[in-house]
Structure 1
């Protein structure tokens, strides 16, 4: 689909760390012909008049960007350093060489250290014999909880808890993306006021130690009262059609390739 809005979020992936279908699973969702039950690992592209940036780099990043016909990525915001949100980073290589400058990675200090560990070849070039084209051009921009700007867009980080791990959500305009969350700290709630769209974690129906389930996500919706809510990071326990049929008005499961103007 061509780019039709000046500003839009594209949900590149809406699945859990296993993705859906899950390897070796033959449940009804994993074998479903409904394309919105096919979920790659979670990530977002934000298209703006000045260019495109991402939230996270899932292991399927190359496939996701080809699917959405995204030819250039200039920056990435990272929520946290878990593999399903990080391990597509090497697919950024092509963009650095196309632009002849680094792709900027906006992340907290602990995520930077995780990236430097997992992708050490990109930062320790004297210690390896890789040819030039095998090394991605990357530049870190360390962030905290203060607002910052990417490609002309104001980004407001939101502190979330993913079990015991502090992670980030992001608010861009009147849209907030809050994946991999099991608790919203008191100080973060004001940052969710006045939302038109909330994209929030909802792994399954049952409680989970590190993720919201649907009941917890709906409690957030009741408190925040956004205009529209999409549930993301969805497991194979939730069928797209039957789950949407029982969700309240204004709330539905997200799906890969969903486009949200903002």
Structure 2
């Protein structure tokens, strides 16, 4: 299995427009963060997690190949704003999206031309399959288990894919979900900043949850510029917990 972190930033990205803080002005490429997304390659299958507004730019630096499935965590623009840019990947055939019914309904409402019965030429050839938290499904031979997490009070999805898990925008997780994350080789999870936030984990909460889940390795994503300079804040983390960065390739 190979996991490429396409984007490790929060909704505004880093640098944030108009900001002159030390992180936004940093020349360290680890401090430049596009909106959060990941590409997973396993058993000959390519799976994209979220498709935000930076998707086109992210894929210009990635090998062009068929996408066998796109897992959508939730409807917020920084996670779905690039769906129309799936068009070049439709040359390989229809690109299937997977998400829960409520998110699917909102995507169809916002982008009806993508899901019309009779599409005009050039529209991305995509479909949506409704999935449910706690009910596993397969993309080819790859087993995927949707995990319920709470983005503030908003229920969204994380995903366990074989022995790795990807969780973004989480503030809390119901107790019964932790058991579904046992035995992970790799956990990719959000850590917004050091200060508390009303809808996302801060760094302290993320470290506590990483320890509770107990993956062999944990990589934090969805960081804002408030997290601090990568080179400095990385030193505060336990040995098996790291800050991810754009274009990082993880091979669990």
Identify the TM-score tier after normalising by the shorter chain.
over 0.9
1:76-225 map, 5 Å: 76-96=70-90, 98-99=91-92, 101-124=93-116, 131-133=120-122, 135-145=123-133, 146-225=135-214
- Report deviation, 1:27: 0.6
Three-state SS of the structure 1 residue aligned to 2:88 is helix
Post-superposition offset of 1:50 = 2.6
CA deviation profile, 1:161-193 (whole Å, cap 9, x unmatched): 001110111111221111110001011010111
Q: Which residue in 1 is equivalent to 2:9? A: 15
Q: Does the 8 A contact of 1:20 with 1:40 survive in 2?
A: yes
> Is contact 1:36-1:256 (8 Å) kept?
yes
Residues 206-254 of structure 1: CA deviation (Å, up to 9, x unaligned):
1111100001011112212221111110000121111001112111111
Q: Render the CA deviation track for 1:37-87: whole Å, top value 9, x for unaligned.
A: 000000011112333120110101011111122333232011001000001
Aligned counterpart, 1:3: none
**RMSD across aligned positions (CA):** 1.4
Following superposition of structure 1 onto structure 2, how do residues 219-234 of structure 1 map, counting pairs within 5 Å?
219-234=208-223
**Tell me, what secondary structure is at the counterpart of 1:237?**
helix
Give the length in aligned residue pairs: 250
* Deviation (angstroms), 1:131: 4.6
What is the rounded CA distance, in whole Å, between the counterparts of 2:127 and 2:189 in structure 1? Answer: 29
Q: TM-score, normalised by structure 2?
A: 0.95
Deviation at 1:93, TM superposition (A): 1.2
Q: Distance in 2 between matches of 1:210 and 1:151?
A: 34
The whole-number CA distance in structure 2 between the counterparts of 1:189 and 1:48 is: 24
1:73 aligns with 2:71: no
Query: Could you tell me whether the CA contact under 8 Å between 2:51 and 2:80 is conserved in 1?
Result: yes
| Unpaired segments ≥5 residues, structure 1 | 1-6
Q: Is the 8 A contact 1:81 1:114 kept in 2?
A: yes
> Residue 169 of structure 1 aligns to a residue in which SS?
strand
Q: Please, what TM-score do these two structures have when normalized by structure 1?
A: 0.92
CA distance in 1, matches of 2:86, 2:69: 9
